[in-house]
Amino acid sequence: MDWISLLLVPAIKSLVVVVALLTGFAYLSYVERKLVARFQVRYGPNRAGPFGILQPISDALKMVFKEEIVPLNVDHVVYLLSPALTVMPALVIWAVIPVSGASFTLFGQTITPYVSDVNVGLLYILAIASLATYGIVLAGWSSNNKYSLLGALRTSSQMLSYELPMGITLVSVLLIAGSLSLVDIVQAQRGVWFALLQPIGFIIYFICGLAEAGRSPFDLPETENELVSGFATEYGGIKFALFFMGEYIHMITISALATTFFLGGWYGPFVNQIPVLGLVYFLIKVAFMIFLIVWIRASLPRIRYDKLMHFCWKFLLPLSLLNLVVTAVVLVLVG
Amino acid sequence: MPIDYLPILVFFVIAGLFGIVALVVPAQLGPRRPSSNKLKTYESGKVPYGDARGKIPVHYYKVSMLFILFDLEVVFFYPWAVLFRKLKLFGLIEMGVFIAILLVGYVYVWKKGALEWE
Amino acid sequence: MSDTTFEKLRAQFPDAVLDVSEFRGDTTATITRETFLDVARFLRDEPDLQYDLLVDLTSIDRRDLGIEPRFVTVYELYSIPKNHSARLKVPLPWDNSTEMPQCPSVAAIWPTGNWHEREVYDLMGIGFTGHPWLHRILMPENWVGHPLRKDYPLGGEPVYFSSDRDNPRFAHLGKPIMEGPSYPSKLPDDVDSETHLVINVGPQHPATHGVLRLAVELDGERIVSVNPDIGYLHSGFEKTGENKRYEKFIPYTDRMDYLAAMNNNLAYVLTVEKLLEVEIPPRAQYIRVILAELQRIASHLFWIATHAHDVSGTIHSLLMYALRERERILDIFEMFCGARLTTSGMSVGGLRQDIPGAFPDAVRSFVSEFWKRLQDYEAMLTRNPIWLSRLKGVGILRAEDAVALGVTGPMLRAGGVPFDLRKAQPYSSYDHFDFDIPTATEADSYARYQVRMREMEQSLRIVEQAVNRLPEGPFCTDDRKVAPPPRSEIDLSMESLIHHFKLYTEGYKPPVGEVYGMAENPKGILGFFLVSDGTAIPYRLHVRGPSFVNLQATDLMARGHLLSDLITIIGTIDVVLGDVDR
């Protein structure tokens, strides 16, 4: 192993992933605005460039050149660091997600379609996903604002709570796949998608995913009608954009993980003959999940906070445990 | 293999660099015209009553305690699940006992009213 | 009706009643200050009278009328079970040795009096003994003087124009001029800001529908008390009205409940017409009904749009759907009078102009399409489990509390009281139409949602009937002292020319007297109190805004609920701050 394959290749791959995610984020915000607008008989952004496709760029430029405002009563270091702390975990989760099945060779280097395939991939994902909570709690606390504090507390409790059923549901997936590596999990779905073997698991995962990403109807983190903008109330400019980015990348990640765990990852017709189709299938499935999430946002009211917690602790948690037990029993019976 | 984690470390560094660049560079690019009104704590345009870092509702603490308890136990599922195909019936019974104990705790917590949002 | 009231009153309290007078069907009794509270309690509790609703409480400064004592408080009472009303006046002797005259507070008898008395205290400078928390309500806490007193000067603000740029006063043009004056806002004494979190919701907040401020006392996320702070939008409409001719106040009524301009116009012109005693031709009455009911639908549409938006977090699709339908109503208004929001669509004596030829068809096409749209909205919300869980059991306002707090309109009907002025005291030929009063029994936010949805259906029925049976005839009265003659007549008749000239130079001069006019607005009873001194300008003009009174119920409805429910509750009150602050 030389330094090229050890450092340079991962570094370039990481950069590609980061750039892809940022572009994805930017255009996801555009697509969402367009979609929601069409759901609501509006046009959505249509001024910047043809069909408004330059809107994300103009938004990004605006955010970059905004005035830096740091309110007087905040805890400076924590206040400034927490946006970065939110966006970083959202990015590094992608280190273990395989976007395609086929490796290819470039300049004598074998390039794998993931940054790293560690044998505890799933645990890594759960661990990193929990880190995002820190950014939010610290942002809420350091802002010294009541809306921020309440918003941060709500968000963190919500994210923590929904991690439980999500984690238990993923154990059911593990039972069938028998490996923590994401590549292995996808390969275990060569024949049949786990969404068909684990329909309840898939639904629980999707609900928890919505809650984890703070998407409607679980968009309590923003709660703009009660808590103005929740934990991000005192943030503006690029710092706000980082939180926003964290949320949207989280949404992409949730969709990508749903694809990986339940929708057969890169698998699809003719993927063995034409390997590049793997990436296409992966992206289509992710896009489908994102569309679902946006559709839900345009249609449903928001759940009240106490109901949201009850739903998680009193319904989803037992249900996911039951799902796990049933899966295990069936596996033993089938052999 | 530990060497598998090196790319992840590289990714961490790059993501961290991105975060820092995104915070530092725009701060230099934008204008700075602070005024005392602009830097006030926002509370719907009024002077806030008291400090925000006061007492917070205890439910949030309760939720995080419960989360830690349950999450630790859920972690035990993972190695079991990976080896489940080898453990077969023995694994099922073993985990059945574990889940039963977990459920006892869960029912206790529920009956105690810790899951009520009050 | 009221005659028996005052006979009973005289029998019970021989010394209390100083005088009983009648004008335009309104009976007024003058009561001595000492016996007033006993009289008030008697009127509320006597089984034959049951004046359970204190519609309005206001005051008159009679300095320029030359009547002693100078200040008098006025109470407009209504009995929902008996459907009769009465007015009490309590003269307040004042020898200038104290800061202000004193009047006993009725807040313990009719809790709705609380805010009304604060308003009177604030604007007229009358103290109320026994009031729970007598502070200014519309004006800032540090305001000097009481604007509605007749000796309070008008205006006084110099207006600077762009040619004054060299004026040193504008040295700061484009820069922050000064620190925003931030007065320490007073909280009622029972608010515990030490152990509880007191949080400001509003005035600059996404959920408060305008510049409403609620100081919310929270124990965790539970609401201990809500203290509405209003007046940010106060623009002294009453003082303005007392310095304008009757007709000139109509555009101001547009700007009170700006989502129901037509209904405001209607209530005001009805009051002035009551004062003038003019007959309105049936065609004008029918067109008024069509316009008012369309406006009611538009107002309810705006309510459902913002309510759905509030309850859901992100922009709910229903917001856009409902506003799309509202646009069509505004298009119809534009067709009729050229304006969409602030219509000033009606004039004293009838209408300003007849409807254009395409109007009935436009209304019919809207009605037939809206029936279907309403089904769509119901499909989106009525049985949506999240919607149900956010609204059911939230913000309960029982009928007896609602009546005591003076709450009217859909909020009262959702508690099971079928009280609607359009049925109880039909005006503008509402009795010609067949419609129901939707009620509910649960008295929660969901009941209010249901009532308002049903009301839209009933309004559609009224509009349908009115537009199909629209009579032919003149669109305004032929009383030339009130309504201008048609243009064609002016060229031919000297008399018409004189009428026209007199009307536009002097206005009409109603007889001396006072009337109270009410109409059922989308949000509740809108009342106008007019005192005429025989000139073309009202001596006293008072407005009872339904939102102002209904907002008072926020605290009662929100106590014990979660912070999230507060947003539902504000939405369900359907408050328009222009109507609250006036």
> What HEC string does C66-98 produce?
CCCCCEEEEEEEEECCCCEEEEEEEEECCCCCC
The pLDDT of residue C177: 44
Tell which wins on pLDDT, B50 or C330: C330
- Nearest alpha-carbon partner for C224 in C189, C249, C192: C192
- The ipTM (two decimal places) reads 0.83
Restricting to C residues 123-182, those with a Cβ less than 8 Å away from any Cβ of A are none
A198 DSSP assignment: -
C181 pLDDT higher than 60: no
In degrees and rounded to multiples of 5, residue A252 shows phi and psi of -65, -40
The pLDDT of residue C378: 86
C31 DSSP assignment: E
CB contact under 8 A, C566 and A226: yes
Overall domain count for chain A: 1
Cβ-nearest to B27 among A11, A68, A119: A68
Residue ranges for chain A with pLDDT beneath 70: 1, 3, 108-109, 220-226, 335
Residue B116 lies in a domain: no
d(CA C306, CA C574): 9
Mean pLDDT of B89-115: 85
d(CA A29, CA A245): 9
Q: pTM score > 0.90 for this model?
A: no
The pLDDT of residue C268: 92
Cβ-nearest to C207 among A40, A146, A226: A226
Residue A317 lies in a domain: yes
Q: Domains in chain C, start-ordered, CATH in brackets?
A: 2-129 (3.30.460.80), 237-581 (1.10.645.10)
The pLDDT of residue C479: 82
The band of C31, judged by pLDDT with boundaries at 50, 70 and 90, is: confident
d(CA A335, CA B91): 13
CB contact under 8 A, C321 and A41: yes
Mean pLDDT of C563-579: 85
Residue A66 lies in a domain: no
Residue A132 lies in a domain: yes
User: Could you tell me the residue range of the domain that residue B30 belongs to?
Assistant: 2-111
**C115 within 8 A of C548, measured Cβ to Cβ:** yes
User: Could you tell me the residue range of the domain that residue A174 belongs to?
Assistant: 3-54+72-334
d(CA A135, CA A230): 13
Tell which wins on pLDDT, C267 or C205: C267
**C123 within 8 A of C146, measured Cβ to Cβ:** yes
State the average pLDDT for chain C: 85
Cβ-nearest to A115 among B11, B30, B74: B11
CB contact under 8 A, B50 and C198: yes
Sorted by sequence, the CB contacts under 8 Å of residue C238 that are 6+ apart come out as: C123, C148, C541, C542, C543, C582
The band of C156, judged by pLDDT with boundaries at 50, 70 and 90, is: low
d(CA A89, CA C171): 51
Please tell me the distance in Å from B77's CA to the nearest CA on chain A: 7
Overall domain count for chain B: 1
CB contact under 8 A, B44 and C185: no
Cβ-nearest to C220 among B37, B45, B59: B59
The pLDDT of residue C1: 47
Residue A236 lies in a domain: yes
Cβ-nearest to B45 among C193, C195, C204: C204
Mean pLDDT of C57-79: 88
Residue A95 lies in a domain: yes
Cβ-nearest to A309 among B33, B95, B117: B117
d(CA A1, CA A3): 7
Please tell me the distance in Å from B34's CA to the nearest CA on chain C: 11
CB contact under 8 A, A306 and C316: no
Residue A137 lies in a domain: yes
Mean pLDDT of C404-419: 89
| Residue where the block lists tokens 């106008």 | C528
Name all chains with 3 or more CB-CB pairs below 8 Å to chain B. Answer: A, C
d(CA C431, CA C428): 8
Residues in a beta bridge with C23: C26
Ramachandran region, residue A223 (left: φ > 0; alpha: ψ -120 to 50; beta: rest): left
Show the DSSP H helices in C277-358 as ranges. 282-311, 317-337
Residue B23 lies in a domain: yes
The pLDDT of residue A160: 85
Apex B23 CA angle, B19 and B27, nearest 5? 165
d(CA C167, CA C4): 67
Residue type present at position A106 = L
Contacts of C391 in chain A (CB under 8 A): none
**For A148, nearest residue in chain C (alpha carbons):** C199
Contacts of B25 in chain A (CB under 8 A): 64
CB contact under 8 A, B46 and C221: no
The pLDDT of residue C164: 62
Q: Is A301 on the interface with C (CB under 8 A)?
A: yes
Query: What is the tens place of the pLDDT at every residue in C478-519?
Result: 888 888 888 888 888 888 888 888 888 888 888 998 999 999
Peptide bond into C228 cis (omega under 30): no
Query: What is the tens place of the pLDDT at every residue in C128-147?
Result: 888 888 888 888 777 778 88
Contacts of C180 in chain B (CB under 8 A): 37
B51: buried, middle or exposed (CB in 10 Å: 19+, 13-18, 0-12)? exposed
The pLDDT of residue C73: 92
Residue A65 lies in a domain: no
Contacts of C563 in chain A (CB under 8 A): 150, 226-227
Q: Is A62 on the interface with B (CB under 8 A)?
A: no
The pLDDT of residue C206: 74
Query: What is the tens place of the pLDDT at every residue in C229-263?
Result: 888 888 888 888 888 888 889 999 988 888 889 99
Mean pLDDT of C169-178: 54
**For B59, nearest residue in chain C (alpha carbons):** C220
The pLDDT of residue C166: 67
Residue A60 lies in a domain: no
Peptide bond into B7 cis (omega under 30): no
Q: What is the CATH number of the domain that holds B60?
A: 1.20.58.1610
Contacts of C380 in chain A (CB under 8 A): 299
C217 pLDDT higher than 60: yes
d(CA C30, CA C21): 9
The band of C178, judged by pLDDT with boundaries at 50, 70 and 90, is: very low
Restricting to B residues 59-98, those with a Cβ less than 8 Å away from any Cβ of A are 59-60, 63-64, 66-67, 70-71, 74, 77-78, 81-82, 84-85, 88-89, 91-92, 95-96
The pLDDT of residue C3: 66
CB contact under 8 A, C221 and B50: no
The pLDDT of residue C394: 87
From residue A231, how far is each of A25, A151, A156, B39 by CA, in Å? 20, 5, 10, 17
Lowest mean pLDDT among C267-271, C410-414, C454-458, C486-490: C486-490
| Residue where the block lists tokens 């009937």 | C465
Name all chains with 3 or more CB-CB pairs below 8 Å to chain C. Answer: A, B
Mean pLDDT of C46-59: 87
Residue B118 lies in a domain: no
Percentage of chain A modeled with pLDDT above 70: 95
